[in-house]
Structures are given as structure tokens and as C-alpha cells.
Amino acid sequence: MESIKKLNDLITGQMYVVVGYSDPINSIYGINYILLVSEQNSTERFEMRTTNLLAEYISNEKPKGEFKFVVNERNGVKYPLIENYKKERKFNMLY
């Protein structure tokens, strides 16, 4: 049985397609999901743990169909860029 992948196991610059996700899993880091993912234009699927951004996207948007993300990297840190999703910063004003 293949182990569950992490974002760091994926290829920078590659587009991935999320075709399914588990029920929410409570962890010490908050809500997480296990994703069923494939590389774009591939039929091979694998399981992957969510990042905070992917978990937030699923929790907030509750996607009904597949969605895509690209793995980007900055200063040696990989992060997902989800197609058609912008996370807005919310500030608590102190005045």
C-alpha cells in the first residue's frame, strides 16, 4: 500500500486535480482532509494530506466537482495555488 503523500512530495510547477476528499479530520493543527489527487492528464490517483490552505478552501467553498491546484515554491517552501481561488486577508482594526 502506497503511503499518503504530502505537498513536499509533489513536483513544483505541476498542475494537480483533486477528484475527491475525505470527511473532515480533527487534528492538533485544526481540520484536515485526505485528498484523492491525480496529475493533470493522468488517470493514476494517489492520496494526499491537505495543507492549511487546501483544508480552508474545502471547508469554506465545499466544492461539488473536481478542482485544480499548482504547486509553487518560494524560498524552498512549497505551497498550493488553487485555480480561481483568492484568499482575502481580514484585519481586525485597532481604532
Q: What CATH number does the domain located at 7-82 have? A: 2.40.50
Q: Which residues of 21-41 are buried (b: 16+ CB within 10 A; e: fewer)?
A: beeeeeeeeeebbebbbeeee
Stretch 24-48: mean pLDDT, rounded? 92
- Tell me what percent of the chain is helix, strand and coil, each rounded to the nearest 5: 15, 40, 45
pLDDT of residue 89: 62
Mean pLDDT score of the chain: 90
**pLDDT of residue 1 exceeding 60:** no
| Domains in the chain: boundaries | 7-82
Percent of the chain surpassing pLDDT 70: 95
Q: What is the pLDDT of residues 64-77, one digit of tens each?
A: 999 999 999 999 99
E strand intervals along the chain: 15-21, 25-27, 30-32, 34-39, 45-49, 67-74, 77-82
Neighbours of 15 (CB within 10 A): 14
pLDDT of residue 91: 67
Stretch 20-38: mean pLDDT, rounded? 92
